[in-house]
Amino acid sequence: MANEDELMAARRTKAEALANAGTRAFPNDFRPSEADRAAREALVALAGAEGPEGEAKRAALPEESELSGDEAQHALYGRVMAKRGPFLVIRTPHGNAQALVRKDQLPEDQAAMLKAVDLADHVAVRGPLIKTRTGALAVSARSYQHVGKALLPPPAKWHGLKDVEKRYRERYVDLWANPGVAAVFRARALVVKTLRRFLDARDYLEVETPLLHSVRGGAAAKPFTTHHNALDLSLVLRIAPELYLKRLVVGGFDRVYEIGRNFRNEGISTKHNPEFTMLELYQAYATFEELMDLSEAMLREVDAAVRAAHPELVGERSFTLAEPFARVTMRDAIVAAAALAENGRLLEGTTIDRATLDDEAALAELAATLAPKLPPADRKGLTGAPSHGHRLLTLYEVLAEENLAALYRNADGTKSVPVFITDYPASVSPLSRRKDDDPEWVDRFELFIEGREVANAFSELNDPDDQAERFRAQLDDRAKGDDEAMDFDADYVRALSHGMPPAAGLGLGVDRLVMFLCDQPSIRDVLLFPLLRPEA
C-alpha cells in the first residue's frame, strides 16, 4: 500500500499535467452566478427526489442520444467523490449529483484537464440535463473546468473507520466525506438561528459582553487564566456572562440575551468540553416560574424547526417535548428516587423523607452511612460538604439525577419528559434570590432531559447586601478547599446598589440541546473542532 508521500507525489504529477493543459492546479477563475447556485441546488434536489413525482420529472428528461443541441445549460460544480466510467459523482453542500463527461464532447484542452482528475478534486461542468439508461439524472457536460486540486485522496472506506478521534481531528474531511455529519452542523446553525428568532420576537436585545474577566464569577467552576501584558493584569477566560448581563439590566435593558462561548477548566467527557456555547437571557419584572413557561415554548419551537429541516437526525427518541414538562422540588426528587429498587439496595432499607432531608444532623448521619458505598468524589461531597445545602445537592446528584428519566414519564409511560428541578439550597446558589417564606432556599430551577442538565435559571438576587454576604461565603468556601468558588465582585455589588429591578435569568447549554435534538451521543459530535491532545 502506498504511503501518504507516494500518494501526494502521484497527484503532484497530475498537477503538472494540468499546467500543460493550460490551467493551474489551484486556479481562481471559476465564478458561479447566483442563477448557477440556485440551479445547482435544484438539480441536486431533483437527482435525489424520491417517489413518483421525482421519477416522473427525471423520466421526462431526454436521453443523451435525443439531445437536439439547443437545450438549456446547467452548471454542476463541487468535489469529485467517484468516477464510474464516463460519469463523475460530484458532491455539493446540498447532496450528490452526477455528470456524464465524455472527452469527445469537450474541447481538446478541457479533455486534457479531464485526464488529470483525481477523487476529491473540485471541478465544474456545464451542459443539458439528461436521464441515464437507469433513469437517473445527469448533466451531459459540454464544458469541463478544473477548479481545485486535492493532493491527498479521500480516506478509504471512511464510513467504516473505527478511529473516532481521527474524525474529530480531521473534521475538514469528516464533513465532506460523511453527509450526516455535515447535517448535524447545519442543524446546529438552525438551532442557534431559531433561538435568536424566538427571543428577538419577544423583544429581547442581543448583546456582547467581555470574554476576558478580571474577577471570576457567574458560575461555580475552575477558570482558565491568562495575562494581559500591556496592563500587567491577570485575567480569566469567561466562565459565564451572567454578571455583565445583569449589569445591563441595572442599566435599563429590561430583556437581554447573549449566545457565546464560555470556558471552564474542568474534565472532558461525553457531556463536557472546556469550551462550550451557552445562551444566557435576563428579563426584568419576571420570576423563575415564568422562565419555565418560556423554556418549554422555546424548546418546542427549536425542536419543530429541526424536525422540519432535518427529520433524518431526529431518530426514535426516548423522551418527548410535546407533553408538559415535570416540575419537581429537589427534595421530592430525592424522596422519589430513594424508593427505586436500585437505590433501595444502596440505602439498605434506610428511609428517606422530607424530615430527614430538612434536618441537618439526620442528613449528616445518612451521609456517613451512605458514603463508604460511593465513588471517592461523591463520598467527599457527602462527608466533606461545607454546608447542609452542599450535602443535600450531592445526595440529589447521587440518588436522583440519573434516575429522572425513569421517574418522570409522559401520560402513557412510553417516554420520559423533561424535568424542572426546583427549590435549591441558598448555600449552593450564590446568585439566586432567597424564597420569601423560607430564606434557606432559593427560587431556582435546573432543566434536565434524560437525566442531563441543559439549563439553569433563577429569580435574580438584587439585594446588594445579601449579594455581598453570598460572595463572602464563597470566599469562605474557597478557604475550605472549594476551588470552584467565586471571587468577591465589588463592582457588581456596586451595580446592584444602584438598583436592579426584580428579574429572572436563564442559562441554556446550546451544545447539549443540539445533542438531544439531533440524537448525538457525545458533545464532541456537535462541536466542529472539539479540544484534543496534540498529535505526537
Q: How confident is the model at residue 315 (pLDDT cuts 50, 70, 90)?
A: confident
Share of residues in the chain with pLDDT > 70 (%) = 98
Q: In angstroms, how far is CA 321 from the centroid of its own chain?
A: 18
Q: How confident is the model at residue 131 (pLDDT cuts 50, 70, 90)?
A: very high
Share of residues in the chain with pLDDT > 90 (%) = 75
Tell whether the model's pLDDT for residue 159 goes beyond 50. Answer: no
Backbone angles phi, psi at 299, to 5 degrees: -65, -35
Count of other CB atoms within 10 angstroms of residue 297: 12
> Of the ranges 70-79, 277-286, 306-315, 350-359, which is most confident?
277-286
Tell whether the model's pLDDT for residue 112 goes beyond 60. Answer: yes
The topology under which CATH files domain 181-325+417-526 is: BirA Bifunctional Protein; domain 2 (3.30.930)
Supply 187's cell numbers.
Answer: 442543524
Compute the average pLDDT of residues 48-77.
90
Supply 472's cell numbers.
Answer: 463572602
Compute the average pLDDT of residues 89-96.
95
* pLDDT 10s digits, 410-420: 999 999 999 99
Whole-structure pTM over 0.85, yes or no? yes
Tell whether the model's pLDDT for residue 350 goes beyond 80. Answer: no
Exposure string over 24-46, b if 16+ CB within 10 A, otherwise e: ebeeeeeeeeeebeebbeebbee
Supply 536's cell numbers.
Answer: 505526537
Beta carbons of 428 and 486 less than 8 angstroms apart: no
Beta carbons of 75 and 39 less than 8 angstroms apart: yes
Residue 155: per-residue pLDDT: 79
| Collapsed DSSP state (helix, strand, coil) of residue 416 | strand
Closest CA to 146 of 39, 51, 21, 288: 21
Tell whether the model's pLDDT for residue 473 goes beyond 80. Answer: yes
Residue 160: per-residue pLDDT: 43
Tell whether the model's pLDDT for residue 487 goes beyond 90. Answer: no
Tell whether the model's pLDDT for residue 478 goes beyond 50. Answer: yes
Residue 5: per-residue pLDDT: 87
Sheet containing 225-228: order of strands:
212-213, 233-237, 225-228
Apex CA 292: angle with CA 290 and CA 296, to 5°? 120
Tell whether the model's pLDDT for residue 116 goes beyond 50. Answer: yes
Residues in contact with 258: Cβ distance below 8 Å, sequence separation at least 6, in sequence order: 206, 207, 208, 209, 241, 245, 279, 280, 281
The topology under which CATH files domain 4-154 is: OB fold (Dihydrolipoamide Acetyltransferase, E2P) (2.40.50)
Compute the average pLDDT of residues 305-330.
95
- Comparing 343 with 246, which gets the higher pLDDT? 246
- What residues does CATH 3.30.930.10 cover in the chain? 181-325+417-526
Count of other CB atoms within 10 angstroms of residue 452: 17
Compute the average pLDDT of residues 86-91.
96
Tell whether the model's pLDDT for residue 162 goes beyond 60. Answer: no
Beta carbons of 113 and 23 less than 8 angstroms apart: yes
- Alpha-carbon distance of 164 to 270, in angstroms, equals 13
Compute the average pLDDT of residues 482-491.
86
Compute the average pLDDT of residues 412-437.
94
* pLDDT 10s digits, 202-229: 999 999 999 999 888 877 788 899 999 9
As a whole number, the mean pLDDT across the chain is 92
- Comparing 498 with 473, which gets the higher pLDDT? 498
> Of the ranges 11-15, 325-329, 398-402, which is most confident?
325-329
Compute the average pLDDT of residues 105-115.
93
- Alpha-carbon distance of 86 to 103, in angstroms, equals 9
Residue 1: per-residue pLDDT: 58
Residue that is written with C-alpha cell 428579574 in the block? 503
Backbone angles phi, psi at 422, to 5 degrees: -120, 175
Compute the average pLDDT of residues 85-114.
95
- What residues does CATH 2.40.50.140 cover in the chain? 4-154
Residue 157: per-residue pLDDT: 59
Residue 239: per-residue pLDDT: 94
Residue 266: per-residue pLDDT: 86
Q: How confident is the model at residue 321 (pLDDT cuts 50, 70, 90)?
A: very high
Tell whether the model's pLDDT for residue 346 goes beyond 80. Answer: no
Residue 474: per-residue pLDDT: 87
Beta carbons of 263 and 275 less than 8 angstroms apart: yes
| Collapsed DSSP state (helix, strand, coil) of residue 58 | helix
